[in-house]
Amino acid sequence: MTLRVVLADDQALLREAFRILLDTADDITVVGEAADGAEAVRLTRELRPDVVVMDIRMPGVDGLTATAQICADPELRASRILILTTYETDEYVAQALRAGAGGFIGKGIGAEDLLGAVRTIAAGDTLLSPAATRSLVTRFLATPEPEPQQQPGRLDALTPREREMVALVAIGLSNQDIAERMFLSPFTVRAHVQRAMTKLDARDRAQLVVIAYRTGLAPAP
């Protein structure tokens, strides 16, 4: 199966570079390019891509607004959003996740990592770069919570291997990264992470990260 991608970035040179890179993969093809958020929404409705690689800062309708519009449309539920930006700030990470983005990575990412990110998002997983993860955690730690920060008992339902997986997710590792570190298949890692999310009632990978820090499983940065 070939993954169909729409690129949204106001810099034509960057779009061209990303298109060439993505088209080198046998299982990925770029089907459309947008220079602003409004065009990204239009192309998503017209082309129904598997993944939209979305910049944040664009003229007119920005990437976060476009992401919210796409994710709010039930007919576009199959199109996943991967935010690719220079600005990995806590505010942008939080806004992107609230808008419905499936992933958040920086433009300094390597070629193979970008291809892997597109595949990860298309598979329905959530992906946060290490920098985005740190921003998310920093924002969480700076926000007062009515409940205690340490809830170690919440982890009792997890197996030792699931705890290990959650701790690695909390430092920003993707399933592929964890698989390589643990000498496991990505499928096995994904199964462990998904079971941990179910047991902890985490709606997505970002919330799993927050739970890891709240329970003390991962040390605060």
Give me the amino acid identity at 39. E
Pair (129, 171) in one structural domain: no
Pair (130, 167) in one structural domain: no
Q: Give the CATH number of the domain where residue 171 resides.
A: 1.10.10.10
Pair (134, 184) in one structural domain: no
The pTM of the full predicted model, rounded to 2 decimals, is 0.72
Which of residues 116, 138, 160 is at a domain's end?
A: 138
Pair (46, 64) in one structural domain: yes
- Angstrom CA distances, 36 to 28, 67, 93, 189, 195, stand at 22, 12, 19, 36, 38
- Angstrom CA distances, 140 to 28, 31, 103, 114, 133, stand at 35, 37, 18, 27, 10
Which of residues 79, 105, 138 is at a domain's end?
A: 138
Pair (35, 89) in one structural domain: yes
Pair (117, 176) in one structural domain: no
- Angstrom CA distances, 52 to 114, 125, 204, 216, 220, stand at 13, 14, 19, 35, 32
Residues constituting the chain: 221
3-state class (DSSP) for residue 152: helix
Contacts of 12 (CB under 8 A, 6+ apart): 35
CA distance 114 to 137: 23
Pair (132, 37) in one structural domain: yes
Of 206, 211, 219, residue with least CA distance to 135:
206
Expressed as residue numbers, the domain containing 203 is 147-214
> What stretch of H or E contains 31?
strand 28-34
Residue 220 counted as domain residue: no
Report CA 54 to chain centroid distance, whole Å.
12
Question: Residues 20, 128, 7, CA angle at the centre, nearest 5°?
Answer: 30
Residue 18 counted as domain residue: yes
Pair (127, 183) in one structural domain: no
Per-residue pLDDT of the chain (221 residues; tens, 9 = 90+): 899 999 999 999 999 999 999 999 999 999 999 999 999 999 999 999 999 999 999 999 999 999 999 999 999 989 999 999 887 777 888 788 878 888 888 888 888 889 988 998 888 777 777 677 666 666 665 665 544 444 557 788 899 999 999 999 888 787 888 988 999 998 899 899 989 989 988 867 777 887 887 788 877 65
Indicate the number of domains in the chain.
2
